[in-house]
Chains A and B, each alone.
Chain A
Amino acid sequence: MDNIRRADYGTPPHQSSETVSLTIDGIAVTVPAGTSLMRAAAQAGITIPRLCATDTLEAFGSCRLCLVEVEGRRGLPASCTTPAEEGMAVLTQTPRLADIRRGVMELYISDHPLDCLTCAANGNCELQTMAGAVGLREVRYGMDGANHLRDAPDRSNPYFTYDPAKCIVCSRCVRACEEIQGTFALTVAGRGFASRIAAGESQPFMDSECVSCGACVAACPTATLMENSVIAAGQAERSVVTTCAYCGVGCSFRAEVKGNQVVRMVPNKDGHANHGHACVKGRFAWGYATHKDRLTKPMIRAAISDPWREVSWDEAIAHVAREFRRIQEKYGRDAVGGLVSSRCTNEEAYLVQKLVRAAFGNNNVDTCARVCHSPTGYGLKQTLGESAGTQAFTSVDEADVIMVIGANPTDGHPVFASRLKRRLRQGARLIVVDPRAIDMVKSPHIRADHHLKLRPGTNVAVLTALAHVVVTEGLVAADYVAERCDLPSFEQWRDFVARPENSPEAMEAASGVPAAELRAAARLFATGGNGAIYYGLGVTEHSQGSTAVIAIANLAMATGNVGREGVGVNPMRGQNNVQGSCDMGSFPHELPGYRHVSDDAVRGAFEAHWGIGLEAEPGLRIPNMLDAAVGGSFKGLYCQGEDIAQSDPNIQHVAEALRSLECLVVQDLFLNETAKYAHVFLPGASFLEKDGTFTNAERRISPVRKVMPPLSGLADWEVTMALSNALGYPMAYAHPSEIMAEIAALTPTFASVTYEKLEDLGSIQWPCTAEAPAGTPTMHVGRFVRGKGRFMPTQYVPTDEKVTRRFPLLLTTGRILSQYNVGAQTRRTANTSFVECDVLEMHPQDAEDRGIVEGDRVAVESRAGRTVLPVTITERVQPGVVYTTFHFPESGANVVTTDNSDWATNCPEYKVTAVQVSPVNQPADWQHHHHAFTRRQHELLARRAADE
C-alpha cells in the first residue's frame, strides 16, 4: 500500500524503438510497441479500474476489473495484458463495462470485512478506491454464506501483519516475492474459493523462507499485508525522500511521517539504486533512531572509571579543544587524530578530514573503509586509474556471465541481489567464488554454473589461475588489450600468469579448487559474452586483499570486460557511505578525490581555499594509530560514528590502545563499545535527523534529508564545525549544501555536483563534471581514467595465518541479512527476532571429530584470543572451515581475529584466522571481563549527573 500516492501506470514500461498510435476514449496516444492498453491509457491521463495490476509487477490479468472494449473486436480484453496496437480504438467506460465491473466488485466485497472506518488502510485502500470508482452501491449476496472473514491474522512477523480476512487473492504479494525479491516464499494455496495466500508450506510468515523485505506489503492493494507501525500510528501526513543508512546499495526511501514521528519507510519507486525495492533493514529496522538507549546530551569524565557528567554543548566542545591542545603541546602536533565514519554523510566526512588537516594540523585521519574496502581504493587506482566501481547497478541487466567473488549479496546487499537474481532467471550464467555455499550458489530458480569453493586466503591463487587459463588457452581479448591497455605491463603480466606454477593444476593443492572446474569457469567467463565481476569483503579483507583486487582488474581487462554496460569491476561496499567517505579524503595519505597529500599542486589548492598550510607527509592509519597509542606517541582521538572496539580485529589490542589515550572523544547515537573507553561523549544524529548526501557502491550521490529534528539539537556536521571553531580554525557553514559547494570546488570528480542538481535529477553518479554534467553511470568508456589500463603481476603469497595442529581450522567472518555491521542499529530493532546472537557455523565432519552437536557452546581459540559461541552444524561451510559474524559485542568474534593485514593498506585479514574449536560449558575469560566492564560502564552511565 502506497500512501501519499505516486503515479501508478498499472504495468511496467516497455522498451522498444518502435511506437504504435491508437485512441483511448477518443484521445490519441502513441506508446512504445508492447505497451499495455492500461499503461497507454494512464499515459493519456485515463485511469482504468484495476486491482491485480501495478506498474512494479508484470501484468497478471486476474481481477477482471480492467476490462475494456476494442472497436471491431469481440470480447472484453483485460487492458493490463493486452498490448496496444496500431490504429486500435479503445473504450474504457461503457455501460456494459460498468455493469461488469460493479458485478466483479460486488463479488470481491461480499467476502471482505466492511470495517473501513477502523481499518489501517482507511483512506489509502485500492479496494476502497475501486469500489468508489465503479460505483458499487450494494452487495446483494449478504455475509451469511461461506466467507473468509473469520480467518485468523498472522502476526508472527514483527513488522507486518497478514490478515487473510481482508485478502482478495490478487496475487500481487506472490508476484512481488517472485519478480521483485526473488525469494519465492509466497504462493496461492488451494483452488477456487479456497484459494489463499500462503507463506512457505502454509506456515506463519516467520517460519517460512520469507526474508521480510516488505515487497509483498508494498504490493498489497488492501490492508491484508500491513505494516504494524501503520496499524499502530495510522496513516502518515507527509513524506520526505531520503537515502537509507544501511548497506552500500543506498536505497532511496520516502520516509512517511506524522508530525516528527516516522510511520513507515516506503522504498522509492523513482530511486535509481533500488527502483522501489528494499530489504528488512532499510524498510523496517529504523526504530533505533528513537530507541531508549539514545544518548542525547554531551558528557565528559576525567577517567573511564569515573561516572559521566552531562554538560552543555559549549562546555563539551571547549573541553575537547582544551584537551587536544594540551595533548599536542605535551606530545606533539601528531599525537592526535580523527576517525571518519562511513555511516555519516559526505559533508560530515569532508568536515572531519578538514578538521584534522586544518585544525589538528596533521594527516592522522582515517575511515572505517580501512577495515573493509581500502584495498579496492588501492587496487583499482593502480590498474584502472580510479578508486571506484565501474558500473551502475542496472548494468547487471546486460550481463551474460556474472562472477561473484567473496560477496554474499543476498545477505549483505539484498536489494542488488534481487536484481542480480532476476538477471540470472533470465538466463545469465553465474560463477561463485566463495569458501561457503552462499545462497547465490543454490536457491529457488538460481543455480551457479560453477562454485569455486576455495580455501580462505587463496583468492589470489584462484584469480591468477583463472588468468592463466585465459592467457594460455588464447582467450585474451587481444584487440581490446591492444587498443586500451598498457602493452609492456600486459606482456609482463601475461608472461607471469602463463607460468606453470600459476596453472589451475598447480594451484589446486593450495586453493582446494579442482583444476577442471576452475578451467571451465575461466572459459565461461572469457567466452560467455558480457562478463561482470562483483566482489566484496571476501576479497579485500586478506593479507593479499589489494593483490586480489588487482587480479580482478587484470582479469576484467584481459577479457575486454571494462568500459561498457553489462561488464565491469564492481566492489560491493559494506556500509552506506564507504565510497563517499573515501571520496572525501578520509585516508591519511589522500586529500579529497584520491590525490596524495605530497602533491604540491593539489595541496596548494586546498591550502589556498582553506587559508592554512597543510602537512605533506601521510598520517597514521587506524591500525597504526592503535599501535602508536600503545607505543605512547598517540594520545587523542576524535571518533565520529565508528565502533572500533567491536569492529576492528584483535579487540584486546584495540582496548589496550584506547586505554592508552588521554582523550578519547566518541560521537555516536549510543554508548557503543568504543564509548566505554571514552572521556567525552558527543551525541550523534541519525540519518533521519540531518541533511547531506551519501555515495553508494555505484558512485551514486544521493540526498539525505532531515525527517525530524536532531534529538541532541545538533547534526554531526555542526558538532565538527563547533569543534573546529573552538580549536581556532574557523568554519562557518550554514547548511551542508555549502559544504558540498566547497567539495565541488576542490574535487574534480565532484566539480558539477550541487544540491540543486541533486534535487532535479534525484541522484548523480560521479564523475560529475562539465563534460558529464549529469554524471557518469559507466566509467572507463573508450579509455581508462589513467589512460592505458595497467596490468600488474599477482604473485600468490600464502598468509602467515596458517593452520597447525594447535589451530587446525580456518575461521572466516561475514554478516547476515538481518543485522548490520556492529549491530548498534539493528540490535535495537525487532530484527533481533530473526537472529539474536552470533553463531559459529561448523561442518558436520569437524563437529563429529570434536564431539560437538547442534547448539553446543564452543570455544573458538586463535593466536590472538579465545571466545565462546553457540554452534550450528551445517554443510554451508566446507570441512576445515568455520564461520561466524560480529554483530553482537558479547560474542567477541574480533577477540579471535588477528592483526594480520593487507600489505598495501593495512586492511585487516578478518577472513582468515587459524583456530581450534572445542566444546565448553562456560564463557571465555574475555567474555567474563567484557560483561563486568560493560556492567560497570552502564552503572557509570546510570549515575551520570546533570551539569548544574
Chain B
Amino acid sequence: MDPQRLIKMANQIAAFFEVMPDRAQAAAEVAGHIRRTWDPRMRRALFAHLAADGEADLSPLAREAVVAHRTLLEPGS
C-alpha cells in the first residue's frame, strides 16, 4: 500500500472531525473511523510508515488520533 495515499486518507478523515470542539473526542472519532473502515494491512502499512518516517506527514489531529488510539488501531486488537 502506498503510504502517502494512506497518510492523505488519514488527514482527510481528521479534516472532517477537526471542527469538533472536544479535541479528545475528535481524535477518538478519527481513530474509530479508521478502525471501522481500514483493512488491517492498511493500518499496518500506516504504522510501518510512521515507524520509518516519523509522523511528519500527518496532520496534528490525525497524529493525535493514531498515537492516542494506537492500541485500538493495531490489527487484531
The answer to whether A and B come from one shared complex is: yes
Where the two chains meet, the residues of A that have a C-beta atom closer than 8 Å to any C-beta of B are 334, 363-364, 492, 496, 543-544, 546-547, 588-589, 596, 598, 617-621, 624, 627-628, 630-631, 633, 793, 795, 797, 800, 899, 901, 903-906
B19 with A619: CB separation less than 8 A:
no
Residue of B nearest to A496 (CB): B19
A795 with B37: CB separation less than 8 A:
no
Q: Which B residues lie within 8 Å of A621 (CB)?
A: 37, 39
Interface hit among B1-9, B50-58, B63-71: B1-9
Beyond A619-B39, A627-B1: 19 further Cβ-contacts under 8 Å? A334-B39, A334-B41, A364-B39, A546-B16, A589-B37, A617-B40, A618-B37, A618-B39, A620-B41, A627-B2, A627-B5, A630-B2, A631-B2, A633-B1, A793-B20, A795-B18, A797-B15, A797-B16, A904-B33
Residue of B nearest to A364 (CB): B39
A398 to chain B, nearest CB (A): 34
Complex Cα distance A617/B1, Å? 17
**Beyond A627-B5, A631-B2, A903-B9, is A795–B39 a contact (Cβ under 8 Å)?**
no
In the complex, the 7 A-B pairs of residues with the closest C-beta atoms, listed nearest first: A903-B12, A795-B19, A793-B19, A620-B39, A797-B15, A617-B40, A631-B1
Complex Cα distance A631/B42, Å? 11
- Across the interface, B38 reaches (CB within 8 A) one of A364, A618, A793, namely A618
A453 to chain B, nearest CB (A): 26
**Beyond A618-B39, A628-B41, A631-B1, is A904–B19 a contact (Cβ under 8 Å)?**
no
Residue of A nearest to B76 (CB): A617
A-facing residues in B17-66 (Cβ within 8 Å): 18-21, 33, 36-42
Q: Which A residues lie within 8 Å of B75 (CB)?
A: 617
A147 to chain B, nearest CB (A): 71
Q: Which B residues lie within 8 Å of A619 (CB)?
A: 39
Residue of B nearest to A460 (CB): B16
Residue of B nearest to A902 (CB): B12
Q: Which A residues lie within 8 Å of B38 (CB)?
A: 618, 624
B14 to chain A, nearest CB (A): 9
Q: Which A residues lie within 8 Å of B37 (CB)?
A: 589, 618, 621, 904-905
B6 to chain A, nearest CB (A): 9
A618 with B36: CB separation less than 8 A:
yes
Residue of B nearest to A793 (CB): B19
Complex Cα distance A817/B39, Å? 38
Residue of B nearest to A492 (CB): B21
A501 to chain B, nearest CB (A): 11
Q: Which B residues lie within 8 Å of A793 (CB)?
A: 19-20
A588 with B16: CB separation less than 8 A:
no
Q: Which B residues lie within 8 Å of A633 (CB)?
A: 1, 41
**Beyond A334-B41, A631-B2, A903-B9, is A795–B15 a contact (Cβ under 8 Å)?**
yes
Residue of B nearest to A623 (CB): B5
Where the two chains meet, the residues of B that have a C-beta atom closer than 8 Å to any C-beta of A are 1-2, 5, 8-9, 12-13, 15-16, 18-21, 33, 36-42, 75-76
Complex Cα distance A882/B25, Å? 41
Q: Which A residues lie within 8 Å of B9 (CB)?
A: 901, 903, 906
Q: Which B residues lie within 8 Å of A906 (CB)?
A: 9
Residue of B nearest to A495 (CB): B21
Offer 17 A-B interface pairs, CB within 8 angstroms, sorted by A. Answer: A363-B39, A598-B36, A618-B37, A619-B39, A620-B42, A621-B37, A624-B39, A627-B1, A627-B2, A627-B5, A631-B1, A631-B2, A800-B8, A903-B13, A903-B16, A904-B16, A906-B9
Q: Which B residues lie within 8 Å of A627 (CB)?
A: 1-2, 5
Q: Which B residues lie within 8 Å of A800 (CB)?
A: 8
B3 to chain A, nearest CB (A): 10
- Across the interface, A547 reaches (CB within 8 A) one of B1, B16, B40, B41, namely B16
**Beyond A543-B12, A793-B19, A903-B12, is A624–B42 a contact (Cβ under 8 Å)?**
yes
A661 to chain B, nearest CB (A): 16
Q: Which B residues lie within 8 Å of A589 (CB)?
A: 36-37
Complex Cα distance A633/B44, Å? 13
> Which of B15, B38, B75 has the most chain A CB atoms closer than 10 A to its own CB?
B38
Q: Which A residues lie within 8 Å of B2 (CB)?
A: 627, 630-631
**Beyond A627-B2, A631-B1, is A904–B13 a contact (Cβ under 8 Å)?**
yes
B56 to chain A, nearest CB (A): 18
Q: Which A residues lie within 8 Å of B19 (CB)?
A: 496, 793, 795
Complex Cα distance A618/B32, Å? 12
B52 to chain A, nearest CB (A): 16
Complex Cα distance A544/B19, Å? 14
Q: Which A residues lie within 8 Å of B41 (CB)?
A: 334, 620, 628, 633
> Which of A544, A588, A899, A903 has the most chain B CB atoms closer than 10 A to its own CB?
A903
Q: Which B residues lie within 8 Å of A544 (CB)?
A: 16
A591 to chain B, nearest CB (A): 13
Complex Cα distance A598/B20, Å? 26
Q: Which A residues lie within 8 Å of B15 (CB)?
A: 795, 797, 903
A729 to chain B, nearest CB (A): 21
- Across the interface, B1 reaches (CB within 8 A) one of A598, A628, A899, namely A628
Complex Cα distance A617/B72, Å? 12
Residue of A nearest to B13 (CB): A903
Residue of B nearest to A499 (CB): B19
Complex Cα distance A596/B35, Å? 11
Q: Which B residues lie within 8 Å of A904 (CB)?
A: 13, 16, 33, 37
A634 to chain B, nearest CB (A): 9
Complex Cα distance A802/B55, Å? 26
Q: Which A residues lie within 8 Å of B76 (CB)?
A: 617
A489 to chain B, nearest CB (A): 10
Residue of B nearest to A587 (CB): B37
Q: Which A residues lie within 8 Å of B36 (CB)?
A: 589, 596, 598, 618
Q: Which A residues lie within 8 Å of B33 (CB)?
A: 904
Complex Cα distance A903/B36, Å? 13
B4 to chain A, nearest CB (A): 11
A240 to chain B, nearest CB (A): 41
Residue of B nearest to A628 (CB): B1
Complex Cα distance A621/B1, Å? 13
Complex Cα distance A906/B33, Å? 12
Q: Which B residues lie within 8 Å of A899 (CB)?
A: 5
Residue of B nearest to A596 (CB): B36
A795 with B16: CB separation less than 8 A:
yes
Complex Cα distance A793/B26, Å? 12
Complex Cα distance A363/B38, Å? 11
Complex Cα distance A296/B68, Å? 55
B44 to chain A, nearest CB (A): 10
Complex Cα distance A276/B12, Å? 45
Complex Cα distance A619/B2, Å? 17
Complex Cα distance A364/B15, Å? 27
**Beyond A793-B20, A797-B15, is A588–B1 a contact (Cβ under 8 Å)?**
no
Residue of A nearest to B40 (CB): A617
Complex Cα distance A547/B5, Å? 20
> Which of A547, A617, A628, A631 has the most chain B CB atoms closer than 10 A to its own CB?
A617
Q: Which B residues lie within 8 Å of A624 (CB)?
A: 1, 38-39, 42
Complex Cα distance A496/B21, Å? 10
Q: Which A residues lie within 8 Å of B39 (CB)?
A: 334, 363-364, 588, 617-621, 624, 628
Complex Cα distance A620/B15, Å? 22
Q: Which B residues lie within 8 Å of A795 (CB)?
A: 15-16, 18-19
Q: Which A residues lie within 8 Å of B5 (CB)?
A: 627, 899
Residue of A nearest to B2 (CB): A627
Q: Which A residues lie within 8 Å of B8 (CB)?
A: 800
Residue of B nearest to A493 (CB): B19
Complex Cα distance A901/B9, Å? 8
Q: Which B residues lie within 8 Å of A496 (CB)?
A: 19
Complex Cα distance A619/B13, Å? 18
B7 to chain A, nearest CB (A): 13
Complex Cα distance A618/B16, Å? 21
Q: Which A residues lie within 8 Å of B1 (CB)?
A: 624, 627-628, 631, 633
Complex Cα distance A492/B25, Å? 13
A332 to chain B, nearest CB (A): 9
Complex Cα distance A619/B42, Å? 10
Q: Which B residues lie within 8 Å of A334 (CB)?
A: 39-41
Q: Which B residues lie within 8 Å of A905 (CB)?
A: 37
